[in-house]
Amino acid sequence: MKLKVKLFADGAEKAGMLEMYQNPLISGFTTNPTLMKIAGVSDYEAFAKDILTQIPDKPISFEVFSDEFDEMERQALDITSWGENVYVKIPITNTKGESSVPLVATLSGNGVKVNVTAMFTVEQVQSVIPGLSKGPGSYVSVFAGRIADAGLDPLPIMREVLGLIKDYPGIELIWASPRELYNVVQADEIGCDIITATNSILKKLSSLGKDLNQFSLETVQMFYDDASEAGYTL
């Protein structure tokens, strides 16, 4: 199955990132502080700069982690200096619910490639378009998987966002937080620019288009082999 949507690997585990870097299907990378914590990263800057020596030519997003906008700006300017392929993730608000739209506009206007993250609504995307439209290129990350976790269909929201940005070729939509490989198919079908997914999801790409009868047989074989290896008896 040939995909038009660009595939980004989402993670902060060095070996996994480098494994995906060798995969020609992977076009870029995203990280966040939570993924770094899970991966055991203790020195944020050292980790990022080390990865960038080995992934110098594909877009990679690193996120600010301050809750104050002046400090976010300082961090963003530091992060963007690490490489030409670096995008700086700015959350759409801070933890107080205060909008980061002015900061996004300032950074974008100063030549920073911004990835506006943690967005869930069309209105949030609308608010950042004016500032991003004058920048060097940017991403809007809409958390489709978490929208689905709220019991809502993310597809209408994603389609509406695509309609909003269609006249701004420098702004690309990232389908964020997918829950299963089928989300890649959905993102591709609606014309989403990018989907970012964990290695565990991306490693299932080879199953796209697989014959379901063959898939069924392989599943039966897996159950049989595992029961045999476990030595189960009745």
Residues 6+ apart with CB under 8 A from 16: 9, 199
Helix (H) or strand (E) holding 6: strand 6-10
Distance CA 157, CA 31 (A): 23
Catalytic member of 6, 89, 113, 204: 89
Q: Is 203 helix (H, G, I), strand (E, B) or coil?
A: coil
Determine whether 89 is an active site residue.
Answer: yes
Please, what's the largest Cα pairwise distance for the chain?
70
**C-alpha to C-alpha distances, 87 to 3, 48, 108, 227, nearest whole angstrom:** 24, 12, 11, 47
Catalytic residues: 89
